[in-house]
Amino acid sequence: MRIYVCVKHVPDSAASIKIVGSNQIDESVTFLMNPYDEHAIEEAARLKEKVGQAEVIAVCLGKKGAANTIQSALAMGADRGILVTTNRPPDSLATARALKAA
């Protein structure tokens, strides 16, 4: 069994986020894994232990810095990570297509 968990690389909620331009944020703040996605990774790892023959795969769409989120998922129990890199903020449809392709 393969358990895919989509994880998102987001700004730290404690950071002071500044808007740059019309619709972007200053990316000099600390980024980390979305806290809800952390719960999903933990639950996938528990399910893997229960089932036995399973593999947890964390998938993330983002810039190169999102590799840190994949590494966090691996440290939490994911077996593999897939980072789909992009340099522009994708919309929901582009995200869904990229994650499906991965």
**How far is the C-alpha of 30 from the C-alpha of 100, rounded, in Å?**
28
Could you report the per-residue pLDDT of 58-96, keeping only the tens digit for each?
Answer: 999 988 989 999 999 999 999 999 999 887 777 788 888
pLDDT attached to residue 26? 67
- Residue 51, classified by CB atoms within 10 Å of its CB into exposed (0-12), middle (13-18) or buried (19+), is exposed
Q: Tell me the three state secondary structure of residue 96.
A: helix
Q: Tell me the three state secondary structure of residue 41.
A: helix
pTM: 0.83
For residue 33, count other CB atoms closer than 10 A to its CB: 23
